[in-house]
Amino acid sequence: MTTLLHLDASARANSHSRRLSAAFAQAWRTARPEDTYVYRDLVADPVPPIGQAWTELCDYALEHEITDPARLPEGARTEAQQAAWAVVEPLLQELVAADVLLIGTPMYNFSVPASLKAWIDQVTFPKARLDLQVVVASARGGSYVPGAPRYAVDHQERYLRDFFDGHFGVTDVTFVNVEWVNATVDPALANRWDDHQASVRDAFTAVDDLAGKIATRRTPS
C-alpha cells in the first residue's frame, strides 16, 4: 500500500487550488481505493510558528548527528522542548510515511501562504532525506509562465522546488497551475478571462491524467 498526504493552504473555502487538489485526490483514490489517504487543512487546523524550543531540538539533532526524526525526542528535555515536539511529531510522522505529497496552494504576494510556510518550518528536520513524490496544485492571480513579464518574480514554484530538493533531496516535484485567477474579479484583467478559463480546463485535465499516471507507476512502500 502507498500513502497520499494531502495539504490545503488557501484561505478561500472554494479556491481554485483547493478544487484542483481535490480533483487530484479523488482521481488518486479512485485508482487506488485500498491505499491510505491523509488530509490536513492548514487553514482550518493551522500549524503554529516555530519557537525557541523548536530551534533547540534542531540544534540537538545537528550536534548529535541525528538524521532519523524518530530520535528527536532524545533532545526534548524541558517542558518547552516537549511541547515543541508534541507539535512537530504528528507532522513529521505524516510526512515520513507519505509516498506522494499533494499540496494545494495559492500564490500569495509572489510566494506561498503563511499557513503553508508554518508547516514547512515545522517539518524542516536537519539533514533528513525523504523518498516521495510531490505534486503542487496551485493558483495564481496573474500569469507566471516562462516568458511572461512576471515570470522572474515567481517565488512560489522556485521556492518549493528549492525547499524539497535542498532539505529533503526530493527532486520529483510536479506543478499544475491555474493562471489568471484575478481575471474573475479585476476589471483590468477582463481581457484575460478566456486565458483563465483555458488554464482552468487544462489544469483539471492535467491533474486527472497525472493522478492516474502516478497511481499506476508508484511502487508501494
Q: pLDDT of 84-100, one tens digit each?
A: 999 999 999 999 999 99
Torsion angle of the four alpha carbons 172, 120, 154, 146, in this order, in degrees rounded to the nearest 10? 10
The whole-angstrom separation of Cα 25 and Cα 30 is 8
Q: pLDDT of 101-152, one tens digit each?
A: 999 999 898 899 999 999 999 999 777 788 999 999 999 877 777 776 777 8
Query: For residues 33 and 25, is the Cβ–Cβ distance under 8 A?
Result: no
The one-letter amino acid at 62: L
Element (DSSP H or E) covering residue 210: helix 193-217
pLDDT value for 219: 52
Query: For residues 140 and 179, is the Cβ–Cβ distance under 8 A?
Result: yes
Q: What is the pTM of this model?
A: 0.91
Indicate whether 220 pLDDT > 60: no
Report the SS3 class of residue 73.
helix
Angle between helix 114-123 and helix 79-97 axes, rounded to 10 deg: 100
pLDDT value for 156: 92
The whole-angstrom separation of Cα 137 and Cα 151 is 18
3-state DSSP percent of the chain in helix, strand and coil, to 5: 50, 15, 35
Indicate whether 160 pLDDT > 90: yes
Query: For residues 25 and 102, is the Cβ–Cβ distance under 8 A?
Result: yes
Taking alpha carbons only, the member of 98, 129, 75, 110 closest to residue 221 is: 98
The full DSSP string for 101-120 is EEEEEE-BTTB--HHHHHHH
Of residues 127 and 176, the one with the higher pLDDT is 176
| Neighbour-count burial of 180, counting CB atoms closer than 10 A to its CB (0-12 exposed, 13-18 middle, 19+ buried) | buried
**Greatest pairwise CA separation for the chain in angstroms:** 59
Report the SS3 class of residue 199.
helix
Indicate whether 188 pLDDT > 50: yes
